[in-house]
Structure 1
Amino acid sequence: MYISTPVKTYLCLFLGIIFLGNMNASAAKPILYDLKCEHLTNPIGTDVLIPRFSWKINSSDNGVMQTAYEIRVSSEIGKLKNADVWKSGKVTTDASIFVPYNGNALQAKNRYYWQVRVWDNKGNVSDWSEAQFWEMGLLKRENWKAKWIQQAEEKTVQSAPSPLFRKTFEVGKTIKKARLYITSHGLYEAYINGERLGDAHFTPGWTSYHKRLQYQIYDVSEQVKKGNNAIGVMLGDGWFSGNLMGGHHFYGKDLALLAQLEITYTDGSQLIVSTDDTWKNTTNGPIRTSDLYNGETYDANMELHNWATPEFADANWKPARSNASLGFDHLVTSPAPPVLAHERLKPIKIFTTPKGEKVIDFGQNLVGWIDFKTSAKAGDSLVFYHAEVLDKQGNFYTNNLRSAKQRLVYKFKGDKSESYHPHFSFQGFRYVKVEGAKENIDLTNIEAVVLHTAMPQTGHFETSDTLINQLQHNILWGQKGNFLDVPTDCPQRDERLGWTGDAQAFFNTAAFNMDVSGFFAKWMVDVKLDQFDNGAIPHVVPYYWRDKQGGSAGWADVATIIPWNFYQLYGDKRILEDQYESMAKWVKFMADNSTKDLWNKGFHFGDWLFYTPADDVDGRAAVTDKYLIAQAFFGHSVQLMINAASILGKDADVKKYEDLLQKVKTAFVNEYVTESGRLVSGTQTAYVLALQFDMLPEELRPQAAQRLADNINSYQQHLTTGFLGTPYLCHVLSRFGHEDLAYALLMQKTYPSWLYPVSKGATTIWERWDGIKQDGSFQNEHMNSFNHYAYGAIGEWMYQQIGGIQPSVNAPGYKEFIIAPKPGGGLTFANTAFESAYGKIVSNWKIDAGKMTLEVHVPSNTTAKIQFPEGATEVKDATGNTVSETQLSVNSGKYSYTFNLAQ
């Protein structure tokens, strides 16, 4: 066919435009990453019948919003293209978190594969994401074929040797897949053919064992082989049977094991190897004692070589004892990631104390255990003691551990090289004292292994001030040390319990630092299950005290505070649905214990560990009326009920709680506010809570904020708050125009302050403002933890006010957010980043000669409002254009602004 030259020219131009357009579209094609199913990546084992999918979008373009998605699910990875289980089709929406599965009913034990692709508002469509999967658990009682088994002889002592269980079996066909479903009363480590399964520690985890017990699922397709095989399991006392605050056997005396190995052959047939009385048992293994507080004694001379292999001779082992009375109805999978080993720290020095003790310094207060490799004569022992601090004279100090021994004993068998770390015990420590064959340990052959729940770090915060950076370091390490399966108060002394007040106070800071969604989704179920019939929430969860102790203001309010904050920060509406009844029961408890809407009954911890001068000669101790605190939290929890009911569409409840809130606030004013607007408790905490929770009429709030500021200044710009007032202190000051005073408190270096422990060499957050006093002596040894995260709640203010990253109440999960840094305190720069549910948010600023530069990154599929500091002038964007607005609404992308600061 003949085409004229002009036509050829135009045709080439036209095709070229199309080609370039396609190239541009391809270059800006959105990329999907960080795909999750129910807060987890590729979870093996869930009993959520309608799982939800989440993904993040990365694009080189600015202003990118998702306009549609398509999800496909298959029974095999090779069938994803055909989506033989479910295909959503193209769904027009910008939703990219917690998108529910909407196919046929999911089947127990099946693995499902899924992919997603998205369309954006630029006309681009992403590639299909990398294939992900999730696997269903044993959804019904009848899916369990195993029997509970226990050691051959009942336990007769409190801390007995760890029992071992084993079973041999033969595989006669080619294996398609193999799964082990396993749990225990106590802690377990499982092996197949001598290989330890998985990298998780302290399984099955700590829950309210009487009400639910987690089980794990292991893909053991590679470990099981054709021919002879063996499975072995070692148990430890753990939380179930071990020492809790000086008591033993709260959940039960005898350890037990439940395991079900299901092997599917390529021909479709199955072999099931389950725990029953054909299993063998012994207590003659090397772990002679194990205790969470007291440590572990390990005798290498009693190691049973290859005990979990088919070749091992177990003729001397006794038959295990099956126990039909142990139930199955409360078995569940876990929504939380496991406890894993993370950093490994080398010692920074080994030295001899004035008392002549050999001590190892790891340079960081941490939670985990030691791991060493050395040799000695058979029968020699190494004994390790763990401590957080040295005393004034430089000696090893353990008085604050109370009855917890934190001791490891290792007895050598005489091999050329022997290695060891504990199995069923963890320690809180920076320093380790070595006794026995101590000359065998040096800087090269021992390490500290850091243990905590696997929570990816999501926050980064750095400033021009090295002390503030160390404070952030301490906050993060306090979180690592105390987020070991449950949010403990402290990780070293004879306590280590899930104190509810600490957890609620720190939750928002925790969610900046790390992804704690799965961690708290798991723990909040136990909060709900352990709630007393009258609606009170226990002081600690999981609850273990034999008498009912709970209902304390600020502690029990964990029932309302965390679910609402969780929803705000992660955008997960389901937690409100799951926890709503528990939230309502807690509010009802407060109402039931009120007289004319005034909650002035019951026990309360109050503003725990508030500042008290050592020589309180003028009676200025910052004692806040505990019932004033209770009424303030009453109002706050009712407000959160209004919020939750509104989100869930419970209109009648909204009206009910709005009426109740008005009555609660009126009762607060009538009881605790004078005619002139002064609070009857004139403390910092009293004013902070009244202002934070809007308990005062609006016209009285400015003068109340001024009284708060006056109080702080009367203490020479020092705080006096305890566990309940501290989290909100700087927030209230910022809200009511006292930003400079908030900075003054943060930057204060003398006691009491956040930086005082830093000046004393702290590497984690202390329980007390003066855990180490100014003269080097210690606070009360009965309550003086040096790893206690509650006061680290200042981290939220640092991220939000210094860094400027703030969530929007109108679009949870950072779908919309605010960037509003407020420089101060002499800082010349702050670099802040946060990996939200939608992607990485960045707010970096620096000041040079009165000019401030602000750089902002907004993830795809989100929008942000940028608020410049008050008094900013001559604002220009990256292209040099003048910006006249003091607040900008921006879409995704990277932005840079420069402006002059008010002098």
Structure 2
Amino acid sequence: MTTHVTRVAGVVGLRIEHHREALGIGKSRPRLSWRYAGTERVPEWVEIEASGETGTRRARVPGPDQVLAPWPFPPLASRERRVVRARAVAGTDVGPWSDPAAVEAGLLHPDDWGASRMVAPAAGVAQQGAAAQLRRAIELSAPVRRARLYLTSWGVHLAHLNGARVGTDLLAPGWTSYHHRLRYHTHDVTDLLRAGGNTLVVALADGWYRGRLTADVRFDQAYGGRTGVCARLEVGYEDGRQLAVVTDEFWQAAASPVLAASFYDGETRDERHRPAAWTPVEVLDTGPLPLVAPQGPPVRPVETRAPVASRVVDELTTRHDFGQNLVGVLRLRVSGPPGASVTLRHAEVLERDGRLATRPLRSARATDRLLLGGQPHTWQPDFTLHGFRHAEVTTDHPDVRVEDVRAVVVHSDLRRTGAFDCSDPELTRLWENARWSLRGNAVDLPTDCPQRDERLGWTGDIAVFAPAATGLYDCAGFLSSWLADLAVEQEENGGAPPLTVPSLSVPTGPVAVWGDAAVVVPWTLYERYGDPLVLERAWPSMTAWVDLVHRRAGEALVWEGDPQLGDWLDPAAPPDEPAAARTDPDLVATAWFARSARLLARAAAALGRTVDARRYAALADGVAAAFRRTYTTPAGRLVGETQTGYALALAFGLLTDDAARAHAARRLVRQVELAGYRIGTGFAGTPFVLDALTEHGHLQVAYRMLAEPSPPSYRYQVRMGATTMWERWDSLLPDGSVNPGEMTSFNHYAYGAVADWLQRVVGGLTALAPGYRRAGIRPRPGGGLTAASASLLTPYGRLASAWRLDDDRFTLDAEVPPGVVAEVGLPDGTTRQVTAGRHTFTTRHRPDYPPPPPAPRPGTPPGGLARRTPPVRGGSAAG
């Protein structure tokens, strides 16, 4: 008997759209993606099989169309479930079936919700800030074959069926622009129901809908004064009958054991509580709710960490250090007499005397409290989150026993895709700091910080961090959902994206960098994930922003005169004036205008909008020319020479002449040298300084900046014990005290943009075509590094590099996934083009180590250059 050996690739990693779990999705024609394993040759065809209650269908799609291939079957109806699998076909060779992936449509049409409305606890059931409970008795007359619970709320909720937790989500339905988009989640509750009596209980807290969102009381109850639940339970009996239970007058409400629940102030729970009475609910006349299915993953507990050190402060208090600044809550086992309490306080860092440093929290109390009911109890707060590394656990009674204290890490359940390591442990730690800052600021939306009384979706932060974020985790669905909110709120704001999304309804004019998120973020998603639908959806938002700035700039094409945040948090700015940067804010605004116009032209080309592509390319050229006329002197220098000014001019391609670029690069090097290789940039410039140096012949100066240990610098943060990125370069001062500025966070990802440079330059991994279909592997050794490795799970599979230096011998190991062509660049200047597989290259390389740091200049403070006021435009060329 002859055994046929299959020579065709196996299909792996079958995915539906950008979902990790495709239950209750909002598309009837979901696109499919997969990867190949086992061969360098992409097959001619892939056979897709979709099985469901109505039978099995098969279709063939071209093998190369492996990323977001169109759905090859009739559209899904609401609630329809299909189990999909795929296999590769090449001639007579047929590969094995992939692991199955289930996809189920949600409620695709408003009519599918039937009579579901919002129900709310009657006034007085629960005090303001406390959580209420809503319940519904459900009588089932037969065994259950299938059941789905569709659930959303004004506020945040946690559901139980017959005492069992529904799902693993936290803080559902998350934070969206509620009046435009209210997400619902679909839960498979088949195994939680039984014939006979059943009880569904939904605990409901204020969350983002009615809770405190800032220290400004104007933004309390930002969306409304009533919380409520909208639910639809659909039950299919084994005998074929159907039952629907909706939110109606048959629900009841009562107070819950959660006496207080606030993201900023914490949660208080009384285990002695028993509902005094269940009262009728109010059925709210909401009109049609703007219900949408999720695009990204839910918020979940994703990791548990034990303390690395614990210290007894006194007989009732123990302080725990978890070794990592994180976002989440504590979980602990506690026992003691009824009425005794346990109080949990949180902080990111300690004061010099060892106390929790709570001043950076501002008005956020970040305190949880449990009142004991007399029985041993494992407690984990449900309706709050804290940013912390250190936590104090205090009891008020000597008989209270606290055990098994753990930190539960909570964030959107993003799939990790990137990794980085190198021979310098401090640079590896810097990468990890950026990764942990994304984790802490990815709680349903991209926020600025996770610990103080302001955890908002600041647009400027993600505008500069998006490239790094997409190299760390799969952010496609997560950021696409946020962009949908940006678009609707931008439209209400006259074409200017609000400074924060979701917005707190404070009208804002156009602000550079922050508003540019409307262009930068969708372009980054397209570049990294190869999804043109992201650009198509964002096109009105992208054009509205650039066209608005064009009108503000006028015929001169110089954007000036509007209030700007500029190069926010320039290290020379006084602690209480974060916008007082050295770089002219109008220069920053005009440079970013040129960049967004250029990206918009590329987006138009990608979408086949040829006329728009030419128009916006001409606009970008015009703005660049206006930048040169306005901000460069006859001697070829920028007016008010700064690191940020030169970095933007070079990185954004605003200098078209080779000689001018070379001259600007030398002037940037001079600015870096004058600063003692310390950082002289804020939010607007920092992501581009290292690239401007690298791409214009000064790679080793970039490495020298990374090597600088004195503040302001990347390495300073690491050496001061940072495990996340800081908001300020010196959030912790050299003497160990906290920066006196009112605005000081130890978990702020904006400066973590350096992770993108580490991945692209040190690791060498770049996207040369959308989705990495063409990829670059071109590591650039320097800075005394002897080895580095980087990997990225691209839409096509794992792309990786690992290099090492042995004296002057350079060895590179590269991994390329099937379907990708990679251009490998070696330090000796040679290039190779390779396809899928593992490849090793060896060449000679004599490292060009950076110069030693210069002696400090007299009068230079340890924190960096003294602040200089930007010169008047058109002034002297001296500098």
TM-score with structure 2 setting the length = 0.92
Displacement of 1:746: 1.1
1:98 to 68, 81, 98: 68
1:293 to 250, 264, 268: 264
1:255–1:622 distance in 2 versus 1, CA, 3 Å: closer
1:9 match: none
2:837 to 893, 897, 902: 893
1:530 to 489, 496, 503: 489
Consecutive unaligned residues in structure 1, runs of 5 or more: 1-14, 305-313, 872-885
Q: C-alpha distance in 2, partners of 1:199/1:320? A: 26
1:453 to 412, 417, 434: 412
> Secondary structure at 2:680's aligned position in 1?
coil
Letter of the 1:494 counterpart? D
Q: How does 1:715-726 map to 2 (within 5 A)?
A: 715-726=675-686
Q: Does 1:595 align with 2:554?
A: yes
1:686–1:774 distance in 2 versus 1, CA, 3 Å: same
1:43 match: 22
Displacement of 1:73: 2.1
Letter of the 2:735 counterpart? D
Q: C-alpha distance in 1, partners of 2:846/2:379? A: 60
Rg: which structure is higher?
1
1:257–1:329 distance in 2 versus 1, CA, 3 Å: closer
% of aligned pairs identical?
36
Number of residue pairs matched by the alignment: 838
1:327–1:746 distance in 2 versus 1, CA, 3 Å: farther
> Secondary structure at 2:300's aligned position in 1?
strand
Q: Does 1:846 align with 2:804?
A: yes
Q: Does 1:117 align with 2:77?
A: no
Whether contact under 8 Å (2:122, 2:253) holds in the other structure is no
2:31 to 30, 52, 60: 52
Q: C-alpha distance in 2, partners of 1:457/1:95? A: 24
Q: C-alpha distance in 2, partners of 1:762/1:438? A: 35
2:284 match: 323
Q: Does 1:232 align with 2:198?
A: no
Q: Does 1:207 align with 2:176?
A: yes
Displacement of 1:442: 7.9
Letter of the 1:373 counterpart? R
> Secondary structure at 1:99's aligned position in 2?
coil
2:9 match: 30
Whether contact under 8 Å (1:56, 1:838) holds in the other structure is yes
Whether contact under 8 Å (2:28, 2:75) holds in the other structure is yes
Q: C-alpha distance in 1, partners of 2:127/2:443? A: 24
1:554 match: 513
Displacement of 1:598: 1.6
2:819 to 854, 858, 861: 861
Displacement of 1:514: 1.0
> Secondary structure at 1:847's aligned position in 2?
strand
Q: Does 1:675 align with 2:647?
A: no
Q: C-alpha distance in 2, partners of 1:570/1:215? A: 25
1:796 match: 756
Displacement of 1:352: 4.3
Displacement of 1:792: 0.6
Consecutive unaligned residues in structure 2, runs of 5 or more: 848-879
Letter of the 2:307 counterpart? P
> Secondary structure at 2:326's aligned position in 1?
strand
Whether contact under 8 Å (2:570, 2:682) holds in the other structure is yes
Whether contact under 8 Å (1:164, 1:232) holds in the other structure is yes
1:301–1:354 distance in 2 versus 1, CA, 3 Å: closer
Displacement of 1:513: 1.0
Q: Does 1:806 align with 2:766?
A: yes
Q: How does 1:248-259 map to 2 (within 5 A)?
A: 248-259=220-231
Q: C-alpha distance in 2, partners of 1:505/1:341? A: 27
1:355–1:156 distance in 2 versus 1, CA, 3 Å: same
2:357 to 368, 383, 397: 397
Q: How does 1:689-838 map to 2 (within 5 A)?
A: 689-699=648-658, 700-808=660-768, 811-838=769-796
Q: C-alpha distance in 2, partners of 1:163/1:484? A: 23
2:48 match: 71
1:902 to 846, 855, 878: 846
Whether contact under 8 Å (1:149, 1:320) holds in the other structure is no
Q: Does 1:406 align with 2:376?
A: no
> Secondary structure at 2:191's aligned position in 1?
coil
Q: C-alpha distance in 1, partners of 2:402/2:141? A: 50
1:881 match: none
1:164–1:355 distance in 2 versus 1, CA, 3 Å: closer
Deviations 1:681-714 (A, max 9, x none): 2000011111111112223111011100111011
Displacement of 1:521: 1.3
Q: Which moved more, 1:366-375 or 1:595-604?
A: 595-604
1:281 match: 253
> Secondary structure at 2:94's aligned position in 1?
coil
Letter of the 2:806 counterpart? D
Root-mean-square deviation over aligned CA pairs = 2.1
Q: C-alpha distance in 1, partners of 2:509/2:126? A: 31
1:218 match: 187
TM-score with structure 1 setting the length = 0.90
Q: C-alpha distance in 1, partners of 2:316/2:331? A: 24
Letter of the 1:548 counterpart? P
Q: How does 1:316-395 map to 2 (within 5 A)?
A: 316-324=277-285, 326-352=286-312, 358-395=318-355
Displacement of 1:405: 0.4
1:262 to 227, 234, 243: 234
Q: Which moved more, 1:820-829 or 1:262-271?
A: 262-271
Deviations 1:753-807 (A, max 9, x none): 1010111111111100001111222213421000111111000010111111111
Whether contact under 8 Å (2:334, 2:403) holds in the other structure is no
1:703–1:353 distance in 2 versus 1, CA, 3 Å: farther
1:593–1:297 distance in 2 versus 1, CA, 3 Å: same
Q: C-alpha distance in 2, partners of 1:601/1:397? A: 40
Q: Does 1:605 align with 2:576?
A: no
> Secondary structure at 2:197's aligned position in 1?
strand
Q: C-alpha distance in 1, partners of 2:398/2:530? A: 55
1:173 to 98, 118, 142: 142
Whether contact under 8 Å (1:857, 1:892) holds in the other structure is yes
Displacement of 1:894: 0.6
Displacement of 1:749: 1.2
2:464 match: 505
Letter of the 2:112 counterpart? N
2:447 match: 488
Whether contact under 8 Å (2:35, 2:797) holds in the other structure is yes
Deviations 1:112-148 (A, max 9, x none): 222222235x974322222222111111221112443
1:757–1:154 distance in 2 versus 1, CA, 3 Å: same
Whether contact under 8 Å (2:567, 2:581) holds in the other structure is no
Q: C-alpha distance in 1, partners of 2:164/2:607? A: 48
1:226–1:357 distance in 2 versus 1, CA, 3 Å: closer
1:278–1:805 distance in 2 versus 1, CA, 3 Å: same
Q: C-alpha distance in 2, partners of 1:648/1:438? A: 67
